[in-house]
Copies of this chain bind each other. A is one copy, B any other.
Amino acid sequence: MYGTIRVELSSERKAKPSVDTGLAFGKYFTDHMFMMNYSEGSGWHDPRIVPYAPITLDPSAMVFHYGQAIFEGLKAYRSPDKSSVYLFRPDKNAARLNQSCERLSMPSIDEAFFVEALQSLVRIDADWIPESEGTSLYIRPFIISTEAGLGVRPSSEYLFAVIMSPVGSYYEEGIHPVAIHVETHYTRAAVGGMGYAKAAGNYAGSLKAQMLAKEYNCSQVLWLDAAEKKYLEEVGSMNVFFKLGGEIVTPKLNGSILDGVTRNSVMQLLASWGMPVTERRISMDEIAAAFANGTLEEAFGTGTAAVISPIGSLHWNDQTMSINVGQTGPLTERLYNTLTGIQNGKIEDPFGWNVRC
């Protein structure tokens, strides 16, 4: 598929940053990157692992003008005995990458090859995977349109690249709840739009609301549906779950919500514990009513970066709803410990989620 991956090793190796001193997310990159080009007629070709280096594009490259740009995010972890390296469910990222491609009229990539490319790159830069508790190597595959030209149409040329960055523990001082602002004006994505795709454009439009949330001392935004600003969608760059009077709920995938890998893993894990998750529409009115009658038990976000992020409070219009007296709930904590335990190999992986490099 696409030919043998050519390897050109870097003659210089960069100094590795310390992960123990609050490493900024996605600021340091490993010595190598994976690249592969697409052109109409030739398809994907010239897969290669080369020294990490700048990308050079014509000023009229379509990515700068018409935004065909999608990405994925996943992590590589070291086993506790340091002998092995695992990727967490890379097949899910491969499948979602292709869903994004389809929505943005970009060419798909063979899913087995995608995983192989990641494995090859991680093996070559394996000494970049940090070893401390809670650390990992963040992997960022992305595809951009590269054809030079200003006609509004799908590009005939693309670049698929994978870069990697060592990341410290998301919670430097242990897991702790965050305050969330419920956004009632700005929209992230609408039904029929590209909200389910991990598209660069979805993030560009979300930054303004993220900045405004800080004015309410909130670290993230909870997005509502575009049509009625009534139903919950997702939190910042995470999916969201609630425990309401014993029922565990999460917004149903409706085309405007990202189909998160951690979301899916949490649902499988809870089902295996005999606690099935209901995927359905959830209104802010329902959340507020549960808060009022004392059944808003727990809330948390799920995503690759933080894995599980407990929600301590929701700020909605003029109301602030504290959840579980602002503390991490027992179910949230159990999910965090189990999922990170499976990821770093401390807990058995009954689902076969970890893929060895």
Q: B205 to A201, Cβ gap below 8 A?
A: yes
Q: How far is the CA of A200 from the CA of B194 in the complex (A)?
A: 13
| B-contact 0/1 string along A213-249, CB 8 Å cutoff | 0000000000000111100000011000000000000
Name the segment of A12-20, A51-59, A120-128, A263-271 touching the other chain: A51-59
C-alpha spacing A226/B154, complex, angstroms = 23
Name the residue on B nearest A66 (C-beta).
Answer: B203
- Beta-carbon nearest neighbor of A204 in chain B: B67
Q: Is the CB of A56 within 8 A of B59?
A: no
Q: How far apart sit A307 and B63, CA to CA, in the bound complex (Å)?
A: 25
Stretch at the interface among A26-34, A40-48, A308-316: A26-34
Contact between B203 and A149 (Cβ–Cβ < 8 Å)? Answer: no
B-chain residues with CB within 8 Å of residue A204 when the two chains form the complex: 66-69, 104, 194, 199-201
In the bound complex, what is the Cα–Cα distance between A202 and B199 (angstroms)?
11
Q: Closest residue to A61 on the B side, CB-wise?
A: B55
A190 within 8 A of B: yes
A152 close to chain B: CB less than 8 A = yes
Q: Which residues of B contact A201 (CB under 8 A)?
A: 67, 199-202, 204-205
Mark the stretch among A77-85, A136-144, A292-300 that contacts chain B. A136-144
Interface of A is mostly: loop
A150 near B60 with CB under 8 A, answer: no
Q: Does A2 contact B (CB under 8 A)?
A: no
The answer to the question of A252 belonging to the interface, with a C-beta cut-off of 8 Å to chain B, is no
Q: Is the CB of A151 within 8 A of B24?
A: yes
Determine which residue in A27, A151, A152 has the highest number of CB atoms from chain B within 10 A of its CB, and name it.
A152
Give Cα distance in the complex from A205 to B54, angstroms.
27
Q: List 27 A-B contacts (CB under 8 A).
A: A25-B151, A33-B59, A56-B56, A59-B161, A60-B165, A63-B64, A63-B69, A63-B200, A64-B142, A65-B203, A67-B69, A67-B204, A68-B207, A104-B205, A105-B208, A152-B236, A152-B237, A186-B193, A187-B190, A189-B193, A190-B193, A190-B227, A191-B226, A194-B204, A194-B205, A200-B204, A201-B202
Q: Which residues of A are interface residues toward B (Cβ below 8 A)?
A: 24-27, 29, 33, 52-61, 63-69, 71, 103-105, 138, 140, 142, 144, 148-154, 161, 163, 165, 185-194, 199-208, 210-211, 226-229, 236-237
A27-B151, A104-B207 given. 17 additional CB < 8 A pairs? A29-B59, A52-B59, A54-B57, A54-B59, A57-B57, A60-B165, A63-B200, A65-B140, A65-B203, A104-B208, A154-B211, A187-B193, A189-B193, A190-B226, A199-B201, A199-B205, A227-B228
